Structure 1
Amino acid sequence: MGFQHGLSGLNAASKNLDVIGHNVANSSTTGFKASRTDFAEMVASAIGSSSGSTSGIGVNVAAVSQQFTQGAINSTGNSMDLAVNGDGFFHVKLTDGTQAYTRSGNFQLDKAGNMITTDGASVMGYPIDPVTGLTSSTTLEPLKFPTGQPIPAKETTEITAALNLSASAKNAAGDPAAVPPVPATPRATYGTSIEVYDSQGIATPVTMYFEKSVGNTWNVFTSLDPAAASVGQLTFDGSGKLVSGSPIALTVAASGLPNPNAAPGGANPVQSLDISLNLSGVTQSSSDFAVSKLTHNGYAAGELNGIKISTDGTIMASYSNGVTRAESQLALAKFSNSQGLSAIGGNNWVATADSGAPLYGTAKSGSFGSMVSGALESSNVDLTAELVNMMGAQRAYQANAQTIKTQDQVFSTLVNLR
C-alpha cells in the first residue's frame, strides 16, 4: 500500500506544479484569474468495518478552483481599453457562435466597424436609439459603429434661442415729432443668424431680427426687406419675462432640395423646411442685446472620429460634423457561482450547470461593478506567493518520491531474507 500512497502524492504534487506553472505563465495576461489546487485524502473502506479500522490510501486532487478576486487596474490611455472594477464579465460571441464571458477588455474596431476582442469575438451590448437616447432593445446585439460610411444628415426641425433684448431700446419706428426727433432703428440692429440643414445635410442660413414695438412687445422678422411681414411677436411682462409669442413656426427655403411640385420657372423652385423657433429663453432687461445660446437639432453627414466609454458602459461616439451621441451600452453578466465557469482559453469562460445561468445587466446597476475606460485589469496572480507555493510543491514531490524509495528498500530487505 505504501507504493500507492507515494504514487498518489506524486500525481497530486505534479498537478499542483502544473497549476502553479500555468499561473506564473499568465502573470501578465490581461484579465487572467489564478487557479488553486485543492487536495483531498483518499480512505479505504469496507462493508461492516468500524471507523477506527479504515486506513488512508493517499491523496487526490479534489478540484482546481479559480480565484475571481479583483486584479489591479492599470491605465493605458487607449479609449477602447476597458476594465471592470467589481462584479461582472463582458459578454462576447465567439467566431463559432459560442456565448462566452471575459474580464479582458482590450477591445478594438475591425474595418467593418464591429467592436471585437483580440481573437475576433464580437462584443455584445444594447443598441441606443440616436433620436431618443434610450436603449432601443432589451436583446443583446453585437456592437457596431459606422466606420465605413458617414452617419446620415438630420434635417433641422427646431431652433432654440436664448438672448436678451434691451429694455431701454427705442421704438423701432422712431418718433420724428419728438424734440429732438428720435430716428428709426434699423432692423439689423438687433439680429442674429444660424445655419440649419436640410435632409441632405446642405446648410441654409436663417437670420432673425427683433424690432421694438409698443410697450413691452417686439416683432420678429427673418428678412431685411422693408415689405417683409413679421413672423411673430414677443410680449414681456413688467419684470422682463416672456409671456407670449413662443414658439414661432418658420418656413425656410432649403437651398439644396429642388421642389418636385414646382412648375418650371414658377414660384417656390426649392423645397422648404418647417422649423419651430423656440424663444422661451428670451428675456427683456436693461442689459444690452446679447445672445447666450443659439442651437438647432439638425446636422450634416459626419464620419466617426472617436469613441469614449462612460463608467456605466455607455459608448459615446463623436463625429466630424460636431455631433456626439450615445450609440450603445455594453452589457455585463454575472453568475451565482463564478467558480463553476469553465475556462476555454483565450481569456474566455463559458457557463456550466455549476455556474448557473448568466444574469445580464449594465455597469453600476444593482451589484454590477463600474467600467474604467482607457485601462485594463491585470492578472490577479501574486508571483511571490506562487514562487513560494512552487517550492512547497517541489518539496512535496521529493518527499513522496522518497516514500516510494523507502518502500522499495523495505521490500528488497524482505526478498533478500535467507
Structure 2
Amino acid sequence: MSFYTSLNGMKNAQTSLGVISHNIANSETYGFKRSRAEFSELVAGSALTNPRMIQGIGSSVEAINQNFALGPVEQTGSALDLALTGDGFFTTRSSGDGATLYTRSGSFSITGSGHIADSKGNRLQLFPTDANGTVTSNALIDAVIPAANAAGAEFAGVTVSTEGAVNVSYADGSVEAIGSVAVAGFIAPTGLKRVGSSNWESTGLSGVASYGSPGTGQYGSLLSGALERSNVDIAEELVGLITAQRNFQANAKAIDTATQISQTVINLRS
C-alpha cells in the first residue's frame, strides 16, 4: 500500500513542478495568468468500516486553477497597445474559423486590410457607434480602419480613449469614430479554457460572456499606450519549486524505506 501511496505523491509533485515550470516560462508573456495545482486527499473505507480505522491512500490532483489577478502595467506609448485595469477581457474573432476568443493581452496593430488585430491575425471586436461616438448596438463588429475618408483624405492616425472609443484621424484634419472597444466579463473566469497565445474560450464552467464598455462595472478602465504583463511572481514560484522538489524527494524516500522494510521481512529466518 505504501508503495502506491508514495507513487501518487511523486506523480502529484511532478504535476506541481510542471505547473510551476509553465508559470516561470511565461513570466515575460503579456496577459499571461499564472496557475496553481490543488490536491485532495484519497481515503478508502466502506459502510462497515470503523470511522476511526479509515486509512488514507494518498492524494490526487483536484484542479489546476488559474489566478486572474491583475499583472503589472507597462507603458509602451503605442496607441494600439491596450490594457484593462479591471476584470474584463478584450474580445477577438479568429480570421480563420471565426471563433470568438478572449484575451488580456492588448497588443494590437493594423493589418494590410485595415483591421485592428493581434499578432495571430485575430480581429479586435467593437460596438458600432454613431458619428458622435455613442454606442448604437450591442452587436459586435470587426475593428476596421478605412484607408481614406469620404473626402479622399488618407489615414493619419488612430487613438483609443479611456472609455474605449476608437477615433481615426485623416490628413485633412477630420476625425471619425469607427466604434467602441467591447469588453467581455464572466461570472466564473476560472472556468475559461486556455487555448494558447494568452487567449481563452468560454465554456459551460465560465458561463457566457456579458459585454460592456470600459470604465463601467467590473470591466475596468482602458489604458491606451500600455500593456499588462504576466502576473507571475518569480520569487513565489521559486519557493513553490523548492517545495515541490522536497515533496518529490520525500515520497521517493518513503518508497526506499518501504523497500528496505520489505527486504528485511523477506530475509527473516525462523
| Matched residue, 2:44 | 44
The 2-side partners of 1:129 and 1:152 are apart by 16
Amino-acid identity (%) = 41
Which of the two has greater strand per residue? Answer: 1
Deviation at 1:128, TM superposition (A): 2.1
Contact kept, 8 Å, 2:191 with 2:203, in 1: the verdict is yes
Distance 1:303 1:51 in 2: 79
Task: Establish whether residue 123 from structure 1 lines up as the match of residue 121 from structure 2.
Answer: no
Equivalent residue of 2:64, what SS? strand
> Which amino acid in 2 is paired with 1:119?
K
Deviation at 1:64, TM superposition (A): 0.5
How far is the alpha carbon of 1:347 from its aligned partner? 0.6
**CA deviation vs aligned residue, 1:58-83 (integer Å, no higher than 9, x gap):** 01111111000011111001111000
* TM-score between the two structures when normalised by the length of structure 1: 0.63
Q: Structure 2: how far apart are the matches of 1:136 and 1:369? A: 21
Q: Does the 8 A contact of 2:30 with 2:228 survive in 1?
A: yes
Instruction: Pick from 248, 258, 261 the counterpart of residue 407 of structure 1.
Output: 258
Instruction: Give the deviation of 1:135 after TM superposition.
Output: 2.8
> Take 1:25 and 1:367, find their aligned partners in 2: how far apart are those partners?
30
Paired residue for 1:334? 185
Asked whether the 8 Å contact 1:127–1:143 carries over to 2, the reply is: no
1:103 aligns with: 104
Contact map agreement 2:133 2:180 (CA 8 A) in 1 = no
- Counterpart residue number, 1:5: 5
Aligned counterparts of 2:12 and 2:168: Cα–Cα separation in 1: 52
CA distance in 1, matches of 2:110, 2:73: 22
**Is structure 2 residue 149 aligned with structure 1 residue 151?**
yes
In structure 2, the partner of 1:64 is 64
Alignment of 1:295-374 (within 5 A): 301-374=152-225
Q: Normalized per residue, which structure has more helix?
A: 2
TM-score by length of 2: 0.96
Cα drift, residue 114 of structure 1: 0.6
**Which residues of structure 1 form unaligned runs of 5+?**
154-300
Q: Is the 8 A contact 2:133 2:165 kept in 1?
A: no
| 1:398 pairs with one of 236, 249, 263 | 249
Question: 1:29-72 deviations in whole A, cap 9, x for unaligned?
Answer: 00000001111111112232132111000011111110000111
Q: Is the 8 A contact 2:133 2:179 kept in 1?
A: no
Which residue type is aligned with residue 204 of structure 2? A
CA distance in 1, matches of 2:223, 2:134: 22
Partner of 2:84: 84
Question: Do the aligned residues in 2 keep the contact of 1:16 with 1:37 (CA within 8 Å)?
Answer: yes
Task: State the distance in 2 between where 1:70 and 1:370 align.
Answer: 13
Name the CA distance, whole Å, in 2 between partners of 1:70 and 1:366: 16
CA distance in 2, matches of 1:142, 1:133: 16
Shift of 1:18: 0.2
1:343 and 1:43 mapped to 2: Cα distance? 32
1:124–1:330 CA contact under 8 A, matched in 2: yes
Asked if the contact 2:162/2:214 (under 8 Å) is kept, the reply is yes
The 1:73/1:22 distance shift into structure 2, 3 A limit, reads same
- Read off the aligned partner of 1:112 and give its amino acid letter: S
Whole-angstrom distance in 1 between the partners of 2:89 and 2:268: 66
Q: Which runs of 5+ in 2 are unaligned?
A: none
Q: CA deviation at 1:26?
A: 0.2
Q: How many residues end up aligned between the 2 structures?
A: 268
User: How do 1:128-277 and structure 2 match up within 5 A?
Assistant: 128-130=129-131, 132-147=132-147, 150-153=148-151
CA deviation vs aligned residue, 1:188-217 (integer Å, no higher than 9, x gap): xxxxxxxxxxxxxxxxxxxxxxxxxxxxxx
